[in-house]
Each structure stands twice: as structure tokens, then as C-alpha cells.
Structure 1
Amino acid sequence: MATSVLAIGASLGVRDFGPVDEPRFALVATQMVATGSSLFPRRGAELHPDKRLFMWISAALLSLTQNLRTAVLAPSLVSGVAYVWMAFHLGTRNGGRVR
């Protein structure tokens, strides 16, 4: 598990946002925190209904950490580690036998 956290999280503080989606997510999270309107995430005046849970988590992390990069990239780290844990758990259940 620690290996997966290191492998997935190695680039958390070093890389910039991706070319298309991550700057948009950062803008939505920033606007949610600035306006206090978190029920319906918006980018400018445009409603941004996609990935609403991700946007809520990013906005909450931005409020807590005041670090935009961490707020946008940390939810991916947590979900990636959760997927690795679930795959490991499912693979070792019942001695690894398929029913």
C-alpha cells in the first residue's frame, strides 16, 4: 500500500496542471470558494455539472490548505490509492480463488 501511495503521489507537488482539464477544475474550485456557491459548481457564468463530487472535494481542500495544486491533485491521489486497495482486497479475498 505504501508503494502505491509513493508511486501515485510522487508527482503531486512537482508537476503542473495538465493541458486541458485540470486548469478548468482549478478555476471551478477557486470560484466555488470565492463565491461560497458550492451547490452548483460554475466556471464563470457557465454551469459545470460534471464531476460535482470532485469539485466539492477540491473546493473543501482549497479552503483548508489554501494551496490550489494540492486541492486539485489530491483527490486523484486518494481515489487512485483507494482503487489499488480495493483491487488488492478483492484479489486476496477467499484465498485468491474465483467462485
Structure 2
Amino acid sequence: MENNKSTNIKAYFYVLLCNDGTFYGGYTTNLNKRIETHNKGQGAKYTKARLPVKLLYSEGFEDKNSALKREYWFKNKLTRKQKENFLLEHGINKKNFTRQR
């Protein structure tokens, strides 16, 4: 789930699976706290309406800017199919792409 090649992680890019089956990509400096915030309905507007969310993937970065660039790329440059392929290439099983119940 997590790709952390360095111990000097300062920021994370993460992908959530929302309850409606959509993906949400985000950035944070505290991964566990951010996921908890999303699931309390205090996160992004997008996830508030699609609770609960499940962490599918996270990637650590040594600087905030790199994590933000990855988030932008995932959210704005990829189609749904490309997002699925990205997750598959990073070891996420396709069965995890289905809605939560």
C-alpha cells in the first residue's frame, strides 16, 4: 500500500476509495490523521458525501512540492482507467476497487 523509499518523509500523496466507488487523490503531512479526518466527515467536500473512505495507496515524499505535483497529476491528468492502471502497477489488487458496504 505504501511506497516509502526514504526515511526522511515530509509529505504524502494518497488515494482513497470512496463509498460510491470513485477514487480521491490527496496530499498530507500526517497520513493517519488525514484519513481519520476524512472518515469523520471533516475532510474534503468530495469525500464528505462519499463516506466511508478506504486508503488504497500512499506514497511518501521528501518534500511537499513533489507530493502536490503527484496529487495534481493523479486528479487532473488521468482518466478512471489510467488511475486503475496506476494502482495495479503499484500492487493494489483490482478487487479493492469495488464499493464498500
Taking structure 2 as the reference length, what is the TM-score of the superposition?
Answer: 0.28
Say which one has the larger Rg. 1
The answer to which structure, 1 or 2, has the higher relative contact order (CA under 8 A, 6+ apart) is 2
Taking structure 1 as the reference length, what is the TM-score of the superposition?
Answer: 0.28
Q: Between Structure 1 and Structure 2, which shows a larger proportion of strand residues?
A: 2
